[in-house]
Amino acid sequence: MTSQTEQERREAGQGVAAAAIDLRGVEKTFYSKAETFSAVRSLDLAIQDGEFFSLLGPSGCGKTTTLRMIAGFEEPTAGEILLHGQNMVGVPPYKRDVNTVFQSYALFPHMTVAENVSFGLERKRVDKQEIRQRVGEMLEIVGLGERGDRRPQQLSGGQQQRVALARALVNRPRALLLDEPLAALDLKLRQAMQVELKRIQREVGITFVFVTHDQGEALTMSDRLVVMNGGLLEQVGTPHELYERPATRFVAGFLGTSNIMEGKVTGVDRGIAVIDAGADGRVLVPTDRSAVGDRIAVSVRPEKIVLSRDEPAADDERCAVTGTVAEMVYLGTSNTYEVRLNGGEMLTVLEQNHSTSESTAQRGDTVWLTWRPQHSLQLVDEPAAATEGGAADDAG
Amino acid sequence: MSRVHADDASRLAAGGFRRRFGRLTGYWLALPGGLWLAIFFVVPMIYLLSLSLMTGDFIHGFTQTFHFATYGHTISLYHDQFIRSIMYAVIVTVLTIVLAYPMAYWIAMRGGRNKSSYLLIILLPFFVSFVIRTLQWQFILADNGFVLGTLKNLHLVGSGFHLLATPVAVICGLTYNYLPFMVLPLYVSIERLDSRLMEAANDLYASKFQALLRVVFPLTVPGIFAGVLMTFVPVASDFVNAQLLGGAKTTMIGNVIYTLYLTNNDYAGASALSFTLMGVLLIGIFVYARALGTKDVMEAAAL
């Protein structure tokens, strides 16, 4: 299941699949009288068996359309969707071995909780005795063992959510598709359900494909995730990879906070480029594709920057810029500084409160910001370039 | 200080009045319709009830004698027409459900932005007088009209074949006339179904037909109930279709009441039959509602 074997398989064109879900060149265009809308554009994605995989992006990025194509509610305009090696295009949803947890739950209001949960097994003509047993077990797993004879509308939002989960999981699908299942819950319940979902996924060992627009949710829950924007894949990887090494400007901005600086490359030495970002000081970034004269964008996370009132030594190899503190916010465990560089750009710096003494600087103070060159990340604007570089690869 | 108190008191009083008036708002809104029904429905009903128990005739006048025997007498005389009416109403109601459900489903699900146009087309015949519409059916079904005439010329049916004055003609006319009353409530109940429920059913291995049977149909039972109420009751007491399209052997209870009242001037008999019909229909509807467990279903659909 390494990227190598998958590549081999692709080259050999074999039907045996390593991936649970494999999207190849999937496109979806919606046509209406007034306009055509490309919801998903040439998407390549391989989701591994047993993975908790998230589709993350702002609304309209194509994540829900992608999920609906895997479920079979939408047919792709082009491309293939393989489920354990079998092409699913043209196969109706009721013949696909995947189940969906809907955003609004879509529980059947005229049935009891137990009837809802047994619906799929009854359609599959599973033995009555076995249905009763599996429904009972599943209701226990989601903590609703006592509520089998209630109606969905008699339950709270969180309980309805669990019924929806049980109704899908009881069928033991090859993959569970979840369409923003936590969006309707309040914060506390949502956090509890995040932990709960992870526990259930570990327990049942089924591939989870999870659609969300909440980056925190995606980062904490996923084994791997994809960030989508405007129907295009921006980057695929583990939460750590995507947060620490965002490839595109969009990913850097969408996951957490990023300081983005732009400038011309004035020199390249042993794979490290020197950038003229219009600020006093020096900005360095590791690069493998830029030459002197190129205009590039660089991202630095606020927590990677060290703020100091002293100018670093001349032989210091770190990046260093100087500016004035425009705003300082005390957050208890940390301080956030907004520093205006002499070129006019604003950088955000996060400083942990290690000591009980006063913060390092106050508003109006002149400060120096330093960070290690490897914390500078070169970004690209076009996700297409990112796809070539990292997205097509599997998780490292 | 005291001034402030006085202000508070007046504000409180004003609020109290508003609250009290506000609580009555619902009743005020229902008042015009309520009065209308009281004057034009309840009063005549009481008058008819009293009339049904009178004896006498048109020339010597009627006197109140609490003559309950009129009920038994009219039922024993006209029970054939009575049973026929109920049978026709059952057949017509079933036919309208069979015809209207797919139509309403199609408009609600596939109508797109033309939904209201399709509904208008269904309602369009209503812009023509009820009697004229039924007379058109008389023309269509005539022994040598364009339907039967053509079929006879093609020797597909015998030259003696006829439809007019048969139960088929009456049932056809009734079904046609009352179809929209079934389509509209069904359309409303299907239209407001959450389309995700169908997707959920499909997702859980139910084919389109299974989803229709297990999810759509049970959730639209309130719509079916409303449609049955709006067709079964008026069809059972209809007299126009039987009069224009039927014959001596298709007379319905509506025709009997019409004749008794307006031709024979047997006011007591006509009133007694009317009340018997009303009682039977009410009992029938209650039994039907009980059988469906309407309260439960209404609750589910209200969600």
B193/B264 same-domain check: yes
Strands (E), A112-201: 175-179
A25/A47 same-domain check: yes
A69/A197 same-domain check: yes
Distance CA A205, CA A50 (A): 6
B40/B171 same-domain check: no
A391 within domain boundaries: no
Q: Which residues of chain B are within 8 Å of residue A120 when distances are taken between CB atoms?
A: 204-205
Give the end of a domain, one of A187, A214, A248: A248
Give the strands of the sheet with A232-237, arranged side by side: A98-101, A175-179, A207-212, A52-56, A224-229, A232-237
* pLDDT value at residue B220: 92
Query: Residues of chain B whose pLDDT is less than 70?
Result: 1-22, 293-303
The interface pTM score, or ipTM, of the predicted complex is: 0.80
* pLDDT value at residue A314: 78
Domains in chain A, number: 2
Q: Which of A104, A108, A134 to mutate to test the interface with B (most CBs of B within 10 A)?
A: A108
* pLDDT value at residue B143: 86
Which residues, 6+ apart, have CB-to-CB distance to A333 below 8 Å? A352, A353
What CATH number did the domain enclosing A184 receive?
3.40.50.300
* pLDDT value at residue A356: 65
B64 within domain boundaries: no
Distance CA A351, CA A331 (A): 10
C-beta neighbour count of A332 within 10 angstroms: 6
B121/B5 same-domain check: no
H-only helix segments in B38-68 = 43-52
Candidates A373, A374, A391; CA nearest to A382 is A391
Interchain proximity B205–A171, CB inside 8 Å: yes
A279/A198 same-domain check: no
Domains in chain B, number: 2
Q: Which helix (H) or strand (E) holds B218?
A: helix B217-219
- Residues on chain B bordering chain A, Cβ-to-Cβ distance under 8 angstroms: 194, 196-197, 199-207, 210, 214-215, 218-219, 297, 299-301, 303
Distance CA A311, CA A370 (A): 9
Interchain proximity A123–B215, CB inside 8 Å: no
Sign of CA dihedral A67, A72, A78, A79: positive
A7/A121 same-domain check: yes
Query: CB-CB: which of B200, B218, B219 is closest to A102?
Result: B200
3 state SS of B159: coil
Identify the DSSP state of A311: P
> Phi, psi at residue B178, to the nearest 5°?
-105, 0
Sign of CA dihedral B31, B34, B39, B42: negative
Domain that holds residue B247: 70-302
Note every long-range contact of A11-14, with CB atoms under 8 Å and residues 24 or more positions apart, other chains counting: none
CB A350 within 8 A of CB A334: yes
A161/A255 same-domain check: no
Interchain proximity A71–B300, CB inside 8 Å: no
Domain that holds residue A55: 3-248
pLDDT (tens digit, 9 = 90+) per residue, B136-162? 888 888 888 888 888 888 888 888 888
A223: tokens are 């084994």
* pLDDT value at residue A18: 64
CB B161 within 8 A of CB B142: no
In this structure, which amino acid lies at residue B214?
Answer: R
Distance CA B233, CA B228 (A): 8
Interchain proximity A100–B199, CB inside 8 Å: yes
3 state SS of A97: coil
- Closest residue in A to B296 (Cα–Cα): A110
B28/B86 same-domain check: no
* pLDDT value at residue A291: 85
A394 within domain boundaries: no
Which residues, 6+ apart, have CB-to-CB distance to A176 below 8 Å? A98, A99, A100, A101, A168, A169, A206, A207, A208, A209
Q: Which residues of chain B are within 8 Å of residue A98 when distances are taken between CB atoms?
A: 203
Interchain proximity B204–A119, CB inside 8 Å: yes
Q: Is A11 exposed, middle or buried (0-12, 13-18, 19+ CB in 10 A)?
A: exposed
* pLDDT value at residue B293: 67
What CATH number did the domain enclosing A359 receive?
2.40.50.100
Q: What is the mean pLDDT of each run of 10 residues along chain A (396 residues)?
A: 45 56 94 87 94 94 95 95 93 95 93 96 95 94 89 91 94 95 87 90 93 92 95 95 92 91 88 84 87 89 92 86 92 90 89 78 91 91 49 36
* pLDDT value at residue A387: 42
CB A231 within 8 A of CB A40: yes
B129: tokens are 């007088």
B222/B266 same-domain check: yes
Distance CA B61, CA B48 (A): 15
Q: Answer whether A106 touches B (CB < 8 Å).
A: yes
Q: Which residues of chain A are within 8 Å of residue B219 when distances are taken between CB atoms?
A: 109-110
Residues in chain B: 303
* pLDDT value at residue B303: 40
What CATH number did the domain enclosing B166 receive?
1.10.3720.10
CB A114 within 8 A of CB A149: yes
A384 within domain boundaries: no
Candidates B43, B178, B190, B165; CA nearest to B108 is B190
